[in-house]
Amino acid sequence: MNLDIQPHPDAEKIATTIEELLPEMDGKRARDAAAAMGIAEGLLLSARVGKDVTRLKPASKQMLKAFIDLGEVMVLTRNESCVHEKVGHFGRVGGGDAVAIVLNKEVDLRVFLNHWLHVFAVEEETPKGMKRSIQIFDAEGLAVHKIYLRPASNLDGFEKLKSEFVHDTQLALFQTKQSEKEEAFPPRADTTVDVAALREDWSGMTDVHQFFGLLKKHKLDRQQAFRLAGNAFACQLDIGSVRAALTAAADMQLPIMVFVHNKGCVQIHSGPIAQLKTVGPWFNILDPGFNLHLREDHVHAVWLVRKPNSFGHVTSIEVYDSNGDMIVQFYGVRDEKEDENPQWRALAEQLPKIEATSDLITETA
């Protein structure tokens, strides 16, 4: 992919802002420091190009395969409300040039490469020593994925990656652009939806992945579809259900799947969880090899969703913020050729439900 990098029209002003405010940001995470300065995180990082940051070419399937040579790494995908961190190795890279997949046990990703535009190799001196990473940003300068090297990582692989994929233009403070919009349907009145057809199509699904086609056919966002499908297919849960579900899963050592996504990446954990801890507004899973950090105060709606498949149905817990954006999804670990774990289904079904209010269309008897 060719990327025409242009200097930011306010580069001088931004550089001055960074120079003036950066001393006040000591100890802040880059994302928070950039927000405090009123700029995108990718712009803040790009100001260091030519120092401890090297711009690489836009990501490609070939680059994903080159990540294999890094050895053991920590991969991080986040959105505004949730951070997902996994330790593992890249491998088993597949898919196409637009949507790629990484299916290598601990590193399980769905990659939307049209958003992996601004890629930087970072070599930062810290009090704990050199910290190396690959950081990827979209057209707006928002982080879509980060890869951090660990003590066991292959430094030769990192140097080879820099050499092979170095960008011809080592430009700091690039001009940001509006990202490609995710497909979404404008809000519509419930009365304009053919609810009977929606429920018929929902009940006719034989694979959970058909759900995206169902939303597209009926021109609905996920939560409106949940409301109109009725309690047989989806019901709203109490806000505290996320904590309750994770606590129960940890107590049972029940293997679960945890999906966190942004517009450029979906990152998945599969396995049991154990160590849960609350720190301020963050509810955390702090296990060796897997960390999840969830802003509980951002949770606005939680749904129990049942999607039919050829074995019965698959149960998920889906969490949304006040803007209607998905924060995180939870499933039980299952084999694609088998029905889901009945322990997971029982756990999800016993969570406290919120009765549908009278102004919503609910399932008829």
Return the structure tokens found at 85. 């961190």
Query: In the 8-state DSSP scheme, what is residue 167?
Result: -
Task: Indicate if 262 and 343 belong to the same structural domain.
Answer: yes
**What are the b/e assignments for 68-85, b being 16+ CB within 10 Å?**
bbbbbbbbbbbbebbbbb
Asked if pLDDT for residue 179 goes beyond 80, the answer is: no
The answer to whether residues 24 and 158 belong to one domain is: yes
pLDDT at site 356: 63
When divided into structural domains, the chain yields a total of 2
Mean pLDDT of 107-134: 96
**What is residue 220's predicted lDDT score, i.e. its pLDDT?**
96
| Residues 127, 29 share a domain | yes
Which residues span the domain enclosing 49? 11-92+116-165
DSSP 8-state code for residue 166: B
Query: 17: helix, coil or strand?
Result: helix
Q: Is residue 106 part of a domain?
A: no
Look at residue 100 and tell me if it is in a domain. Answer: no
194 and 142: one domain? no
Q: What is the pLDDT of residues 18-45, one digit of tens each?
A: 888 888 888 788 999 999 999 999 999 9
Give me the phi and psi of 164, to 5 degrees please: -75, -35
For residues 284 and 151, state if they share a domain: no
Q: Cβ(361)–Cβ(190) under 8 Å?
A: yes
Any idea which of 86-95, 174-183, 281-290, 348-357 has the lowest mean pLDDT? 174-183
The CATH number given to whatever domain includes residue 336 is 3.40.1570.10
Measure the N-to-C terminal CA separation of the chain; round to a whole number of Å.
54
Same domain, yes or no: 279 and 133: no
| Range scoring the smallest mean pLDDT among 15-29, 59-73, 234-248, 299-313 | 15-29
Residues 194 and 153 in one domain: no
SS3 224: helix
Encode pLDDT of 269-309 as tens digits: 999 999 999 999 999 999 999 999 999 999 999 999 999 99
Judge whether 360 lies within some domain.
no
Cα distances (Å, whole numbers) of residue 20 to 55, 111, 213: 24, 36, 50
Q: Is the pLDDT confidence value at 214 over 60?
A: yes
pLDDT for the residue 183: 63
Q: Is residue 107 part of a domain?
A: no
Yes or no: say if 327 and 321 are a contact pair by the CB < 8 Å rule: yes
Is 290 a domain residue? Answer: yes
Q: What percent of the chain clears pLDDT 90, i.e. is strictly above it?
A: 80
Is 85 inside a domain boundary?
Answer: yes
Q: What is the pLDDT of residue 182?
A: 66
Asked if residue 152 lies in contact with residue 83, where contact means CB atoms within 8 angstroms, the answer is no
What average pLDDT does range 256-280 have in this prediction? 98
* One domain, residues 147 and 223: no
Give yes or no: residues 201 and 327 share one domain: yes
Mean pLDDT (whole number) for 89-99:
97
215 pLDDT higher than 60: yes
Tell me what pLDDT residue 202 has.
Answer: 98
The verdict on 147 and 249 lying in the same domain is: no
Q: Residues 299, 253: one domain?
A: yes
Specify if 76 maps to a domain: yes
Q: Are residues 235 and 342 in the same domain?
A: yes
Average pLDDT, the chain: 93
Judge whether 220 lies within some domain. Answer: yes
Which tokens sit at 268? Answer: 């998945």
